[in-house]
Amino acid sequence: MNFDLTDDHLTVKNLIQKFAKSEIEPTIKEYERKKEFPRGLIKQMGEYGFFGACFPEKYGGSELGFVNLAIICEEVSKACPGLGYAFNMQAMTCPFTILNWGTEEQIEKYVPSLISAESIGMFALTEAGGGSDPAGSMKTTAKRVGDEYLINGSKTFITFANEADVGILFAKTDTAAGHRGISAFIIETNQPGFEAIPIEMSGLGYMVRSCDVFLEDVRIPKENLLGKEGEGFKIAMNALDYGRLTVPARLIGIAQGCLEQSLMYANERVVKSHRIGEYQMIQHLLADMVVSIEAGRLLVYKSAYLKDKGQSATRESSHSKYFASEIATKAAQSAFEIFGGYAVTDEYPILKYLNYANMLHTGEGSANVQRILIAEDALGWKDANRHHISRKYSLKSDLQ
Ligand SMILES: Cc1cc2nc3c(=O)[nH]c(=O)nc-3n(C[C@H](O)[C@H](O)[C@H](O)COP(=O)(O)OP(=O)(O)OC[C@H]3O[C@@H](n4cnc5c(N)ncnc54)[C@H](O)[C@@H]3O)c2cc1C
């Protein structure tokens, strides 16, 4: 057993830290002040290969693997938690799902431009009836008419939808078949009848731009069906399984950011002639952060390591999503306490870290839902493995 990062991992970590200092930190406040989508920054990240870490070279990827992707996600999210969303749209949930389930034509047409961030992606699953029950709440329909599908319905919380060029959309091709009636489509957003309206989320600093999406007689050619009719639920669960690698890594980045800020502040802030870091109750908060982040990071690396070996990490990703959600929200709460009143000022990123930690606690399968799956799996209930879906693509086998 070896817990060390390799020289390659450390080189990647170092490079991303430099990128965060020189490119993200100086520009992100200006994007936020102007409420502008950071397309330029995302494009730069795409050109540098941030999103292509787990994609084969023949589609423009760098084949760096999942551990490196986790490292990249952590460092970017520490610098700007909102930018972390780009890893779902430009890497895991959107293009990786096309890579896993698409035809060669679909992969060649969409994957290279998404991972280079030439085009912006989205993943449209959630509807107003409840994200924790995507199949039960889905009202959006896809009706086959000749060589096309006609899409009608609406989605909510769809990140980047108003900026997206292309994305994956889930709709019911058979409304009587429950989750087996859901199909997945690749949708180009320039189609008539597609409208995306950003939801106001000022607490998150305007980076996320999650949208309400309205679909009225949107036409999708039959060639853009992803997988087979009725496979949509399987595809969605498989996509979220991969998303559960990046989201915990992003949560660790947020927690690490809280820790670094808190250490700096506890060393500087003097109250009653003592640096607050000398007070035992502050030290308890710091010690808990140090240990829980270390443990959370190891869980993230374990699931990434398994994926790099070409193995399933469904169980481990669930563990790391649940644990990282809990420790990141706790770290952000502790940082809030350490900073006192200054936590809410724009001078420090504490309030933003807290908001993102709380929000990611819910995203990609809420912590509660993960708890249910973890307990059912531990109890040995077969149904708990319903997310355990084999995939046709394995990075390891592709590299061999
Ligand atoms: C900023 C942001 C970005 C997002 N981006 C996307 C995106 O790009 N694409 C997309 O498709 N969706 C996206 N989502 C939606 C996200 O996936 C959902 O918010 C999430 O699935 C939870 O759904 P919900 O908000 O409807 O909560 P609900 O499903 O209504 O759940 C509410 C609460 O009840 C709890 N709960 C639910 N069921 C149970 C149970 N059985 N036992 C115990 N507790 C339970 C949940 O844990 C949660 O705490 C985004 C959401 C946000 C906030």
131 lines ligand 1 (CB under 6 A): yes
With the most atoms of ligand 1 within 8 angstroms of its CB, the residue from 77, 88, 125, 126 to mutate is 126
Q: Quick check: 386 pLDDT over 90?
A: no
* Segment holding 151, helix H or strand E: strand 148-159
pLDDT of residue 383: 55
Q: Give the tens place of pLDDT for each residue, 43-96.
A: 999 999 999 999 999 999 999 999 999 999 999 999 999 999 999 999 999 999
Q: Say how many Å lie between the CA of residue 239 and the centre of ligand 1.
A: 15
Q: Are 198 and 36 in contact (CB under 8 A)?
A: no
Q: Taking 60 as the threshold, does the pLDDT of residue 396 lie above it?
A: no
Residues 13 and 79: their CA atoms lie apart, in Å, by 13
Which amino acid, one-letter code, is at 364?
E
How remote is the CA of residue 176 from the centroid of ligand 1, in Å? 24
Task: Please say if 364 is a catalytic residue.
Answer: yes
**For the chain, what are the domain ranges?**
7-115, 121-230, 234-399
H or E element that contains 10: helix 7-19
- 149 ligand 1 Cβ < 6 A: no
Substitution site in 166, 326, 352, 366 for ligand 1 pocket (most atoms within 8 Å of beta carbon): 366
Judged on CB neighbours under 10 Å (0-12, 13-18, 19+), 271 is: exposed
Give the confidence band of 387 by pLDDT, cuts at 50, 70, 90.
very low
Hey, what amino acid is at 353? Y
Neighbours of 325 (CB within 10 A): 27
Confidence of residue 382 (pLDDT cuts 50, 70, 90): low
Mean pLDDT score of the chain:
92
- Residue 361 CA to ligand 1 centre (angstroms): 9
Q: Is 366 in the pocket of ligand 1 (CB under 6 A)?
A: yes
* Contact present, 184 and 109 (Cβ < 8 Å): no
Looking at residue 290, what is its pLDDT? 98
Inter-residue contact 92 to 239 (CB < 8 Å): yes
Question: What residue type is 271 in one-letter code?
Answer: V
Residue 360's closest CA among 330, 324, 334? 324
Would the CB of 159 count as within 6 Å of ligand 1? Answer: yes
Catalytic residue among 74, 229, 326, 364: 364
Ligand 1 atom closest to Cα of 368?
A: 47
User: What is the C-alpha to C-alpha distance for residues 119 and 46, in angstroms, rounded to an integer?
Assistant: 10
Whether the CB of 121 sits within 6 Å of ligand 1: no
Calculate mean pLDDT across residues 365-381.
90
Report the nearest atom of ligand 1 relative to the CA of 201. Answer: 1
Spatial separation of the C-alpha atoms in residues 364 and 247, rounded to whole Å? 7
Q: Is 126 a pocket residue for ligand 1 (Cβ < 6 Å)?
A: yes
Q: Which CATH class is domain 121-230?
A: mainly beta
What digits encode the pLDDT tens for the residues 181-196? 999 999 999 999 999 9
* 355: pLDDT strictly greater than 90: yes
Ligand 1 centre and the CA of 229: distance in Å? 25
User: Tell me: domain 7-115, CATH 1.10.540.10, correct?
Assistant: yes
| Pairing mode of beta strands 166-172, 121-124 | parallel
Q: Which of 67, 66, 63, 70 is CA-nearest to residue 49? A: 63
- The token duo for 352 is 């933003």
Is residue 393 predicted with pLDDT exceeding 80? Answer: no
Distance 230 CA to ligand 1 centre (A): 23
Looking at the chain, the whole-number percentage of residues with pLDDT higher than 70 is 95
Counting from 1 in the atom list of ligand 1, the atom nearest the Cα of 160 is 8
Query: Can you spell out the DSSP letters for 273-327?
Result: TEEGGGSHHHHHHHHHHHHHHHHHHHHHHHHHHHHHTT---HHHHHHHHHHHHHH
Pick the CATH number of 234-399 from 2.40.10.480, 1.20.140.10, 3.40.228.10, 3.30.70.920: 1.20.140.10
Phi, psi of 257 (to 5 degrees): -60, -40
Phi first, then psi: give them for residue 381, nearest 5 degrees: -80, 125
- Distance (Å) from CA 366 to ligand 1 centroid: 6
Residue 359 is predicted with a pLDDT of 93
For ligand 1, whether the C-beta of 170 sits within 6 Å is no
Per-residue pLDDT tens over the stretch 3-41: 889 999 999 999 999 999 999 999 988 888 888 899 999
Q: Which of 87, 138, 157 to mutate to test the pocket of ligand 1 (most atoms within 8 A of CB)?
A: 157
First to last CA, the chain: 23
Where is mean pLDDT largest: 61-75, 237-251, 370-384? 61-75
With a 6 Å cutoff on the Cβ, whether 369 touches ligand 1 is yes
DSSP 155-220: EEEEETTTT-SEEEEEEES-TTSGGGGEEEEEEETTSTTEEEEEPP-GGGTTSS-EEEEEEEEEEE
**pLDDT tens digits, one per residue of 286-340:** 999 999 999 999 999 999 999 999 999 999 999 999 999 999 999 999 999 999 9
Q: Does residue 134 have its Cβ closer than 6 Å to ligand 1? A: no
C-alpha of residue 254 to centroid of ligand 1, in Å: 20
125 lines ligand 1 (CB under 6 A): yes
Q: Whose CA is closest to atom 18 on ligand 1?
A: 131
Instruction: Reply yes or no on whether the pLDDT at 246 is more than 90.
Output: yes
DSSP symbol at 24: I
Atom of ligand 1 nearest to the CA of 366: 47
Q: 289 alpha carbon to ligand 1 midpoint, in Å? A: 26
Atom in ligand 1 nearest the alpha carbon of residue 130: 26
CA–centroid distance, 103 to ligand 1, in Å, is: 30
